[in-house]
Amino acid sequence: MRIFVTGASGFAGSAIVKELIDAGHQVLGLARSDSSAESIRKAGAQVHRGDVNDLPILQKGAAECDAVIHTAFNHDFSRFKANCEDDRKVIEALGAALTGSDRPMIITSGIGLLRSERIVTEDDTPPGSDTIPRAASEEAANAAAAKGTNAYIVRLPPTVHDKGDHGFVPMIINMAKEKGESVYIGEGKNPWPAVHRQDAAVLYRLIAERTPAQKTFHAVAEEGILFRDIAGAIGQGLHVPVVSRTEKEAEAHFTWFTHFASLGCPASSAKTRKALDWQPTQPGLLEDLVPGIYF
């Protein structure tokens, strides 16, 4: 297969590109900059130059390939709602290029949209984008499917971990380093699901290859790791105290990240594993934290 990948030089996208190429597929990777293009070429993929918000460029890339994997997203939280609406337009454009064919479009969403005290499954749906802006991506995928696109949704957990991670865990580490303590809120029992990026990459590949009847998947290797255990591993790695704070006290430590630090969203991937025989094999989050690849 020839597969078009957006975000091909990013943390998750680069692992997907490697997984696809190792499995014998050809990859066309979207690159906005010279450095991204060079990274994609070094990985053994072809380069498709353009910005993710240049919709005709995206449609051209999609039209030339047998499948699309969309991982690009602007994580600038200062314009989060606008970025979510931009992603809606991107998915609409990609879907339109594939409508009426069996060629799969695999888009990326987040487990955190389903924030719940119970274990959420692939059958759960997030609130609307008027409540949670990031839900725009799933809404766009579902709208594309209604028009005849073979659309799939992969929900990633709050932490996709491995060497080179620049997501939530490194942010928490930097806050702990700056403040001299590793903090959790209250009893710290809010669970974060997690997945190693190489395991997530395998899942994207399996969906592209098998185009299963199931349409929504959870890239979850670990159902829920207590935040206090994550804070404990960070404290161990930095050799700083691990302390509980009230939510009000925690705002001084986490600032804008307080919402995420209190996030609880245990998630199952049972249906994902059964549908694709997907079996995560990489180290867990705490295994990655304790030996020190993050420190």
Rounded to whole angstroms, the maximal C-alpha distance in the chain is 57
Residues 67 and 108 in one domain: yes
Residues 129 and 96 in one domain: yes
CATH of the domain at 24: 3.40.50.720
Residue-averaged pLDDT of the chain: 95
Residues 80 and 151 in one domain: yes
Phi, psi of 191 (to 5 degrees): -90, 135
Let me know: does 235 contact 185? Beta carbons within 8 Å.
no
DSSP letter, residue 101 = S
Residues 140 and 185 in one domain: no
pLDDT tens readout for residues 189-212: 999 999 999 999 999 999 999 999
Split into its structural domains, the chain has a count of 2
pLDDT at position 54 over 90: yes
Residues 170 and 212 in one domain: no
- Of 180, 206, 221, the one marking the end of a domain is 221
Residues 215 and 252 in one domain: no
CA distance 32 to 44: 17
CATH of the domain at 274: 3.90.25.10
Positive or negative torsion for Cα 208, 213, 216, 219: negative
Strand 182-185 to 104-110 pairing: unpaired
In-domain check, residue 294: no
pLDDT at position 150 over 90: yes
User: Residue 79 has what pLDDT?
Assistant: 87
In-domain check, residue 295: no
pLDDT tens readout for residues 243-294: 999 999 999 999 999 989 998 999 999 999 999 999 999 999 999 998 678 9
The domain in which residue 236 lies consists of 164-193+223-289
